[in-house]
Amino acid sequence: MAKSEVTSKRAASSASKVLRDSGSSKSAKSAAGSALSQRSTSKTTSSGAASAASKALKNAGSSKAARSAAGSALTQKPSGRR
């Protein structure tokens, strides 16, 4: 079952900053793109985007904006449990 959360305005703003920052990592940009794509729809985070978001959160060099976008993307990942 799909989750009903959408990306907040604040998280979307952070995701936008990550995408515009040329120094952001590939995983941070992937997580940010996933978060932005879920701004006003009921889409959920794919496994690949969730993996990228996890990497962005584990990376000590990730910016606050990157971590915010990654957290938002992971929040919208459907549970694997049934």
Q: What would the pLDDT profile of 9-67 be if each residue is shown by its tens digit?
A: 998 999 999 999 999 999 999 999 988 888 887 788 888 889 999 999 999 999 999 99
Alpha-carbon gap, residue 72 to 20, rounded angstroms: 18
pTM: 0.72
Q: How would you label 40-59 residue by residue, b for 16+ Cβ within 10 Å and e otherwise?
A: eeeebbeeebbebbbbbbee
The token pair at 77 is 């990942």
- Sign of the dihedral defined by the CA atoms of residues 50, 54, 57, 61, in that order: negative
Mean pLDDT throughout 77-81?
A: 72
Hunting for tokens 């995701």 — which residue is that?
A: 15
